[in-house]
Amino acid sequence: MKRTSNKNISKNKINTNLFSIFIINTIILFALSIIGFIYLKSSSIENYFKENITINIYLKNSTKEVEYNQLYKYLSLSDIVKKVEYISKEDAALIFAEEIGEEFVGFLGYNPLLDMISINLFGEVIDVYNIENFITSLNNFEFIEDVEYDRPLVEILSENFERIGYWIIIVGILFFITSFILINNSIKISIFAKREIIKTMQLVGATSSFIRKPFIMEYVKISFYACILALFLFIIFLFQITYQIQEFDVFDNLNDIITLTLFLIFFGSISSFISSYFVTQKHLKLKVSR
């Protein structure tokens, strides 16, 4: 009875260790999926913020319709312009009055605002140098009164995203190494709890490859199941981002999702294989008293 009780306790301990490995693998792979997603989508995230930067082109009151059409066509056909929107001075007055909470046209007796064309450039080309060159290209249109954009914001975004890119790489490498160490240590603890099984199999004459195989298969299988759960949580995470930021489509490039999925399966399987192989090999090299 006592021996049976000890066996049950030992079995429960082993099952607890295996469940702990499953949870650790799931958390690690889920965190890696988020870091990998940020890395793969860093340029898209950067473009999302940059493409919200607006360049306002103000037209003189004397601008003729043919001149406006000429400018509008030029902007629409430009390779770097993503969006073109015309805002009349009447519409601009309504928007401004709503912002300040006061109708100012009636108070002043005239509308001091100008007709405006609001444009957004593609994120890949947005930096101070390219924007200034683009504005210079508009000098041929003499009916343009002024061109404005938030230059400090452009400079801050360019500098910060470049800095963030370096940090993503550094954090990714550090977490990659840490993840492998955590998986290795969790497997090491689990196999240590089964050391008596290894010794028993050695005593009955089992070969090293025969002993290693079930351990390796078990931990690779656990890693695969953990990867499935981590990916499920990751998909929920992506849908939540899409719900919160509707303008940002996280599923615009399914190749990134597929690449990330394959990487997680590969990393989880390989790390579990390597760890279980070498940890089991270490116990096999221990002397067994017959």
CB-side neighbour CA atoms (13 Å) of 131: 26
pLDDT at position 205: 76
Strands of the sheet with 144-148, listed across from one edge:
81-87, 116-121, 55-59, 144-148
Ordered by where they begin, the domains of the chain are 2-48+157-284 (no CATH), 54-149 (3.30.70.3040)
pLDDT of 287 reads 57
**Sign of dihedral through CA atoms 132, 137, 142, 148?**
negative
pLDDT of residue 119: 92
Q: Would you state the pLDDT for residue 3?
A: 47
Tokens of 140: 């041929």
The model carries a pTM of: 0.64
Mean pLDDT by 10 residues, the chain (290 residues): 47 66 86 85 81 89 87 89 87 73 65 83 86 88 89 86 82 82 80 76 78 84 90 87 71 78 87 84 64
pLDDT at 229: 92
Closest C-alpha to 31, from 247, 288, 234, 263: 234
Q: What is the pLDDT of residue 106?
A: 64
